[in-house]
Structure 1
Amino acid sequence: MTANHNASRVMIMAAIEDLNEKGGSSKAAISKQMESAYPDLPAAHATLLAHHLGKMKQSGQLAMVKNNYIRPDPDAPPKRGRGRPPKPKTPLPPGAVVSPPRPRGRPPKPRDPFAPPAPPKKKSSGGSGRPRGRPPKKAKTAPPAAATSAPAAAAAAPTGAPRGRGRPPKVKPAVAPVAG
């Protein structure tokens, strides 16, 4: 830690002691106390104060109770972290060899050393003689449709082109010109 960090922490502790509030001192109250005691603070005083208060809280120099910073009670037991504490490890006797941890996953089946080597496996599909999966689509081959006068018949006649997705568009009937 540099001298500036130590000086900031000393100023924060002095401000908390000067305020001497029973429930602790808020960040705003600490800031006002420091500004009145030290008029030549830098422009980034609020940011630096927040940084140092957070660091002091993490290191255990300050405790936080209801958004107020207080000096921790020296007789209080240390605060435990989240989660279940680890099991205590028993020390190994001297000269004991530590085995490597077991690998992950299921262990392989034991092999018979006197058995003949297995023949190489061929790709089988389960005995039915068919390949696995869905068979590929066959290409549609239809004879060319003769031209008809009915538009509905033309729309229903299969064409060689694949259909698009969704509902087909409406086909408007051809209107014959009226001779007059």
Structure 2
Amino acid sequence: MATEELTKPSSLPPYPQMIMEAIDAVKEADGTNKSTISQYIVAKYGEFGAPHTELLNHHLNAMKDSSELLFVKNNYLRPTSDGPVKRGRGRPPKPREAPPAGGGVAPPRPRGRPKKDPNAPPAPKKAKISAAAATPPSGRPRGRPKKVQPLQNGVEA
């Protein structure tokens, strides 16, 4: 595509200016779509011919890439402080809590298990269970039974 095809008459304002003017004139809350911008420009400045669509697409993409316009749900918006907030990927961070009114900030808790208090009384000893009381009432020993050796020549090894 030659650059001669994409030129416009010099009496017209630049495309970015016409696009911003169209967005301001339409004043949609959700933004203005490409066809509405094109219709506004053609109605105000007259017919441009075939290169108008290509020029409009080029300038809208350039303005979107340079952050002059926001592109949300197929609509173009001017970036404002009260406009939609662009969020990054991933989970948003938790909001930080304000420090207490006293002004003092508690030091962070140390890592690991807390140290024992040397002045604390000793813990009571656990009562031992006798060996007879520990065996189950069925008379079997605890755990898995011993492995039985296979028979060799009819004699148990």
Q: TM-score scaled by structure 2?
A: 0.44
The structure that has the greater radius of gyration is 1
Q: Relative contact order (C-alpha < 8 Å, sep 6+): which is higher?
A: 2
